[in-house]
Structure 1
Amino acid sequence: MLNILLIGLFICGDIVQGLAPPHSGPLLSSSGYILPQLDPNPSQRAQEVAINYAGFLYGPPLIGNLSFFPAGTLGVQRVYADIEGFKQNAVFITEAIEKESGAVVQEITQVSNIPPAPNIESTNYGKAGGFKNLSSYELLYKDEWNQSNPLGIAPGYFTNYSQDLHFSMERLSVNPFSTSRLHPNDTLPFALDNVTVSKIAGATLDNLQKSGRLFLASHSYQALYQLQPGRFGAACDAYFYLHPITNDFLPLAIKTNVGSNLTYSPLDSENDWLFAKLMFNSNDFLHSQIFHLANSHAVAEIVYLAALRTLSARHPVRAFLDRIMYQSYAIRPVGNQTLFNPGGFFDQTAAVDHRAVPEFVDRFYPNIAGLFRSNYLRESLVNRGMLDCSYGPELKNLPFFEDAGPIVASLSRFVSTFVKAYYTDSLYLEGDNELQAWIAEANTQANVLDFPPAPLTNIQTLIDILTQMAYLTGVNHHLLNSNAPSYITGLLPFHPSAFFKPLPTSKGVQDITPYLADLDHAMAQVTLQLRFQRPQLPAEHGELVDMFSQGAFNNGSSLPWEVVEAAARFRSDMEGIGQKIGAKQFDENGLSQGMPFVWKVLDPRKIPYFLSV
């Protein structure tokens, strides 16, 4: 079985050992967190900051051209402490998966005499049994992973995954970061026959674009990545559109970069069109997994590293960041050593080899994924034409924003109270030499991309920074990782991480199953995704609902009363949002949020408040 190390959490109310860097300075003052200009021990505090600045240095990124990674005496100590905690907390999920995997293999082996689809001979069987048709992949998930995956898989997935609406609405929920609305003046990446487009959409391609109804998700860059021996993959671009009458968000065409650039549409045979959607999903799955590394981990980590160098442990902003950046520096070294190394877990499951990871990072981090302000929740969606679009109609449903929006609004309310409790006037902000040093450091030595400029003179800007940090650690990351791959993002057969037979260079595929994973490879994909789960969190108070609960800060009894009240209100908000998400079900039309599957990934009661693997 795979043995990837996963992060865990155990917070009962007091400070977690190893959270603060060893020997970083004196203990907190008895009066609690305090701004530097109000601290009764300024020389002692200045000495602490000097020690931090000398001990936390900027080291190599480890994985591609990401942000700097901690180096220096204190940086190495912090990374080591995070890794040790990471290892200890991996035990639960590793043991659960090892215990439950055998039953899954046995079940599939016992039913390996499932008849193939009518008149179709399938030969893709694993060494210990196998899959004779697409529906038999359900055996990988059915009634076996009770400890490893108590959330289960998305209701409706195996019933409806072949539907076009299922495929298209994943772009608005499962991975909303790969799709953008095309502007009327954009150059189209590939052409389509207008007769074909009109039959599908009731309008020409030009009319769809000019009316702001045409969308693109492009993964053609993946053609540059090296395929592994015996593994195969496409490099798809896909058009989506808003139907001129129903306003449904639907797929229009998929160009695969296979053969003579085979392009598929809903007018093709059922098997060919489904195969094209699987090829796209394989590309999109790869995108989501590496994008999350560059978009959440790398960004939050470098902002925090700049803070560790410039803010005293007595500073309220440092306390806030210490809380949400729990064990954050374990992820990259563990991933570098066990996931993205030659022959590691990535190579064991993906179509491309581990060298694709730094290539992806080099392409996306500097211009898209690594930008701080441009990836604020609303700004990111507006910039891609998915929300408040001035040149096209509103989407009927945007499930990602429908779920994430209320969470981020509640995060912002808490952060606003927290910040204003300490900065009662902008003069305190301007006079805070540690805070101003942090902002300057982030913009210079740390090279945080698209960070608010120094000096910081607006309290709202600080609120926005801390809200974004909490969003990155508690929402953005878990949209693409944590529970998400095992709930829907990485489920077979609709989201294969690789194909195992050369992809067809002409249309007319009769059976898709021989191209997909056998039992051994399927189990490798399933168990790897399961290891991103956090099933023990409810017992350890590590969910998003607990982000600011009592004990979140190590001297919480000294917090201003308004912060204590705001924390209670935040918890109540998260409980309410969680109950709403948890109660989702199909409506009278067989849809949930306009989708033929039920999506519950962002339930605040089920996801961590901190960055995970």
Structure 2
Amino acid sequence: MTSFLGHPLLLLTLLFHYAVAWPVAPSQTVLEPATVLPSDDDYQFALPMFDTRPWERVYEIRLAREGYLYGTPLLGNTSFFPTGVLGDAMVARDRAAWFQDVAYVTNKVYPELDKAGKALMEAGGIQSLSSYSVIYEDQWASTLPDGVSPGVLTNWTQNLLFSMERLSINPYVVRRLHPREDPLPFAVDNRVVRHLANGRTLETLHRDGHLFFANHSYQAPYPKTPGRWTAACTAYFFIHPHSGEFLPLAIKTNMGSDLTYTPMDDTNDWLFAKMAFNMNDLFHSQLYHLANTHDVAEPVHQAALRTMSARHPVRGYLDRLMYQAYAVRPIGVEFLFNDGGFYDSSFALPNWSGMRYATEAYWEHAGHFRATNFYRDLADRGLVDCTYGPNLTSFPFYDTVAPMVAAIEEFTRVFVESYYPEERLLGEDHELQAWIVEATEEAEVIDFFPAPLLKREDLVSILSHIGFLSGIAHHALNGATVGESMGVLPLHPSSFNQPLPTTKGSIDSLLPWLHNETEALKQASLLVRFNRPLLDEQEGNLPQMFSGSSFLAQTGSAVHHAATRFREKLLAISDEIRGRKFDEHGLSQGMPFIWRSIDPRKIPYYLCV
């Protein structure tokens, strides 16, 4: 091995290993060319100061820095996308894996679309708001086997369902208004507020920390697709002083005649307002998830590719989580956000509006590494541990996700302590320190941990956050939840068919604004494509995050035991979610629908689309 640096065959083997073998796909042996991988002894994780062949690592990193380059961002002006000889090969490999993964859904969606279309035709088409349910009931058995979330098709007119969606399927847009720091964004007639809030005024709700705000007004200046319309809603929600329920108070459209709606308005007016808000929210969730997960995790990993040997445990941890990650943005450019593509075919705002929002959200907050930590983000928005208002009586997102995050942190702590039994070792690890510097200065990760990184708990925080982003945050907004609840008609249309009403009390029927049969089927068939129904049998779901055989083969017994405990905990959480039912009040987690989309068995452990 002393001639490694000048041996052309070994150089080609290393290049092939980088381009093809990394990372291992869940249960897909086509990505494991054992004939070119190093031996088990060669491929054990080790810190650089304890590696018996340090010269190999030096040359490996030199090749990596030449082969993995920071390229032009994709899907908005956000984080870098990899290029270079090795970067391009990695992207090509991930694209091939993605197409293999998505083939099942792609092959099943068209016959199921035909089935849904025939059922809708036999029912006489869309004749009323209840007609939309025909599109979903028993129509997507292969692509969306769990169907629409129970309650969404039956309780969709309830105000509590609308408001609790903000605390479950999209908790990233709402925040509590601070009594001293936040002025009231818009006015509401206090006669209405008193009626809805047990005698309280808007100002009193604000003063007592009961008032929450959601803001989609940024969508107002974005260009609109010709022949489609949308709003740019802002909304108030509040904790009811008597019942403690989290309820809607008012919705302001910020477009057209800029009307403000409340639950006291005519039924059709208020339903229209909720549909308008959900339209904005659907746009937000899909682009925010891009800026907050893909665009954040990728540059952290790219920095590791250029500074760490594949034998470094931190690199191995990141490689495991970043399976298939670099397929998403180019696939999005080619098929989803291309001119006339899937996105343009349904949404009111054209694809480049989405890219504009992804860019704005990334730089404003979504792309900030430490500020979007699971606990910190919720606390900063007054949703947990609030010191200026009462606790939420039910917060399904937090209550469901917090145990998952704790399990990721527990495994990660064992993993880190196994390789850094003494804290001083972090300072001696030059590859680790080079990664921290690279991530900030070259990869330009916003709000990353400063160098030098000398505390094990900081490293645990970094790695756990990547685990949260790739395995939980992404799939809370994307994946199964889009087809099961977030995009279900008629409450969640992707666009309106005519301009917003100019006055209140003028809507005799909502159907002229909503999707016709063709557009409704198009929206439904698009959103079920985000699901991955074969994850459980492929061992690609969240409980398998740290169970890959190639990953564990490079670790010690403590990590093996931690991976087993992690899997058992996530399976127990999954069992609890799968067992959820309506209580005697017709509620689940305080909601009139059952939220199972975040079930660990049905969400990937890796970034997906």
For Structure 1 versus Structure 2, the TM-score category normalised by the shorter chain is over 0.9
Match of 2:462 among 448, 456, 465: 465
SS in structure 1 at match of 2:576: helix
Q: Deviations over 1:400-455 (max 9, x none)?
A: 00110000000000000011000001121111111110011011011101111011
Partner of 1:570: 566
Partner of 1:505: 502
Query: Is it true that 1:557 corresponds to 2:522 in the alignment?
Result: no
Partner of 2:93: 81
| Contact preservation (8 Å) 2:176, 2:209 | yes
SS in structure 2 at match of 1:601: coil
Aligned residues: 584
Query: Is it true that 1:341 corresponds to 2:338 in the alignment?
Result: yes
| Contact preservation (8 Å) 2:26, 2:548 | no
Match of 2:599 among 575, 599, 603: 603
**CA separation in 1, counterparts of 2:333 and 2:27?**
31
Partner of 1:167: 162
1:130-141 alignment to 2 at 5 Å? 130-141=125-136
Q: Which amino acid aligns with 2:80?
A: F
**CA separation in 2, counterparts of 1:343 and 1:317?**
41
Partner of 1:123: none
**CA separation in 1, counterparts of 2:359 and 2:533?**
33
Higher mean displacement: 355-364 or 579-588: 355-364
Q: Deviations over 1:156-176 (max 9, x none)?
A: 111111111001000000100
Match of 2:195 among 196, 199, 212: 199
Any stretches of 5+ residues in structure 1 without a counterpart? 1-7, 113-129
Q: Which amino acid aligns with 1:170?
A: E
Higher mean displacement: 601-610 or 190-199: 190-199
| Contact preservation (8 Å) 1:192, 1:205 | yes
1:139-178 alignment to 2 at 5 Å? 139-178=134-173
SS in structure 1 at match of 2:143: coil
Partner of 2:587: 591
Partner of 2:531: 533
SS in structure 1 at match of 2:565: helix
1:482-501 alignment to 2 at 5 Å? 482-501=479-498
Partner of 1:65: 77
| Contact preservation (8 Å) 1:382, 1:388 | yes
Q: Which amino acid aligns with 1:540?
A: Q
| Contact preservation (8 Å) 1:13, 1:550 | no
| Contact preservation (8 Å) 1:213, 1:243 | yes
Partner of 1:372: 369
Q: Which amino acid aligns with 1:234?
A: A
Partner of 1:296: 293
Decide whether aligned partners of structure 1 residues 31 and 158 sit closer, same or farther in structure 2, where only a CA change above 3 A counts: closer
SS in structure 1 at match of 2:282: helix
Partner of 1:415: 412
SS in structure 2 at match of 1:184: coil
Q: Deviations over 1:277-315 (max 9, x none)?
A: 001000011000100000011101111111111110101
1:294-333 alignment to 2 at 5 Å? 294-333=291-330
1:43-442 alignment to 2 at 5 Å? 43-112=55-124, 130-185=125-180, 186-201=182-197, 202-442=199-439
Decide whether aligned partners of structure 1 residues 14 and 320 sit closer, same or farther in structure 2, where only a CA change above 3 A counts: farther
**CA separation in 1, counterparts of 2:346 and 2:91?**
28
Q: Deviations over 1:357-413 (max 9, x none)?
A: 121022210121101111111101000000000100000011000110000000000
TM-aligned CA deviation for residue 85 of structure 1:
1.5
SS in structure 2 at match of 1:572: helix
Partner of 1:118: none
Query: Is it true that 1:12 corresponds to 2:27 in the alignment?
Result: yes
Q: Deviations over 1:498-549 (max 9, x none)?
A: 0112221111211111211111111111111111110111221111011112
TM-aligned CA deviation for residue 11 of structure 1:
2.3
Q: Deviations over 1:175-219 (max 9, x none)?
A: 000000001121222111222211111211111101001000010
Partner of 2:4: none
TM-aligned CA deviation for residue 27 of structure 1:
6.4
**CA separation in 1, counterparts of 2:135 and 2:354?**
27
SS in structure 1 at match of 2:508: coil
TM-aligned CA deviation for residue 98 of structure 1:
1.3
Q: Which amino acid aligns with 1:131?
A: I
| Contact preservation (8 Å) 1:225, 1:352 | yes
**CA separation in 1, counterparts of 2:115 and 2:58?**
59
TM-aligned CA deviation for residue 88 of structure 1:
2.2
Query: Is it true that 1:33 corresponds to 2:45 in the alignment?
Result: yes
Any stretches of 5+ residues in structure 2 without a counterpart? 1-22
**CA separation in 2, counterparts of 1:103 and 1:254?**
37
SS in structure 2 at match of 1:348: coil
TM-aligned CA deviation for residue 13 of structure 1:
8.5
Q: Which amino acid aligns with 2:317?
A: F
**CA separation in 2, counterparts of 1:394 and 1:513?**
39
**CA separation in 1, counterparts of 2:355 and 2:397?**
27
**CA separation in 2, counterparts of 1:38 and 1:498?**
59
**CA separation in 1, counterparts of 2:440 and 2:39?**
29
Q: Which amino acid aligns with 2:401?
A: A
| Contact preservation (8 Å) 1:175, 1:288 | yes
**CA separation in 2, counterparts of 1:395 and 1:111?**
42
SS in structure 2 at match of 1:528: helix
SS in structure 1 at match of 2:238: strand
Q: Which amino acid aligns with 1:514?
A: P
Q: Provide TM-score, normalisation by structure 2.
A: 0.94
| Contact preservation (8 Å) 1:439, 1:452 | yes
Q: Which amino acid aligns with 1:69?
A: F
C-alpha RMSD over aligned residues:
1.8
**CA separation in 2, counterparts of 1:168 and 1:372?**
28
Match of 2:542 among 523, 541, 544: 544
**CA separation in 1, counterparts of 2:554 and 2:374?**
32
| Contact preservation (8 Å) 1:26, 1:48 | no
**CA separation in 2, counterparts of 1:351 and 1:13?**
38
**CA separation in 1, counterparts of 2:462 and 2:127?**
52
**CA separation in 2, counterparts of 1:10 and 1:53?**
24
**CA separation in 2, counterparts of 1:564 and 1:358?**
41
Query: Is it true that 1:582 corresponds to 2:594 in the alignment?
Result: no
Q: Which amino acid aligns with 2:178?
A: H
Higher mean displacement: 25-34 or 492-501: 25-34
Decide whether aligned partners of structure 1 residues 233 and 562 sit closer, same or farther in structure 2, where only a CA change above 3 A counts: same
Q: Deviations over 1:203-242 (max 9, x none)?
A: 1111110100100001011111111111010110000011
TM-aligned CA deviation for residue 271 of structure 1:
1.0
TM-aligned CA deviation for residue 10 of structure 1:
5.2
**CA separation in 2, counterparts of 1:31 and 1:165?**
54
**CA separation in 1, counterparts of 2:140 and 2:200?**
46
SS in structure 2 at match of 1:355: helix
